[in-house]
Structure 1
Amino acid sequence: MSAAPAGLAAEEEPDYRFTLANERTFLAWIRTALALVAGGVAVGQVSATGDTGRVLVVLLAITCLVTALVLAFGAPAHWRRSQAAIRRGLPLPGTRLIAVLVLAVVVLAAAGTALLLVT
């Protein structure tokens, strides 16, 4: 164990189970991002009738793909912050990824419902 800079806790090798749990959480975020990419591509292939239907299809696809991008970029950063906290014995950091995902699901559900009603 080395001396930590002023104001920071020293890093220690954590119990491997905590590291593996952090890794599983990271992989869950990446799986969710991959599913959103697949969903966005699939929805983008839907042929909706009328201008309103096509706009909703594009909205669904773009929402899926943008959410996937946010999760894919945010997951590694959250993993690194969590790993640093685990090694220093600090509380785990929060994440905005959950709020982003919830908001995206609400938008996707609303647009999907509207699409079904319009077509």
Structure 2
Amino acid sequence: MPRRTTFRWMALSAALVGNSAVLFALARPITDYVATLAGKDGRKVHGTATVTPTKDGAGTEVSVTLADDTPGATRPWHIHTGSCEKGGGVVGGGRAYAPIVISDKGQGAGKATLAVALADTTTYYV
């Protein structure tokens, strides 16, 4: 059964921006991790993030979906080590993450396959 939690987008300007951050901590090895994304400061954008190990266990697959966002917007995203308050480096290299393009209905989705497994002793944020 996937674990669930709530993430909060940490907007860096008046509008939700691509460098928004979501914090999650992993207390045990990832088998399947699902998080609910929630807008901050009254923003209605919401979605989900799913993190699963690759079949060989050496990497990580990440999926993000967004809804009720600004139609036509492009949202760059990454998983970083650290936290919203103490940012860290991008996990798996920036080229692994294609920007999320928001449809005319306010929805978007992104996927990344990382060549690294996420450590169960590290804190991450999106």
Q: Does the pair score TM above 0.5?
A: no
TM-score (norm 2): 0.20
TM-score (norm 1): 0.20
Instruction: Give the greater-gyration-radius structure (CA).
Output: 1
Give the structure with the larger strand fraction: 2
Bigger relative contact order (CA 8 A; separation at least 6): 1
Give the structure with the larger helix fraction: 1
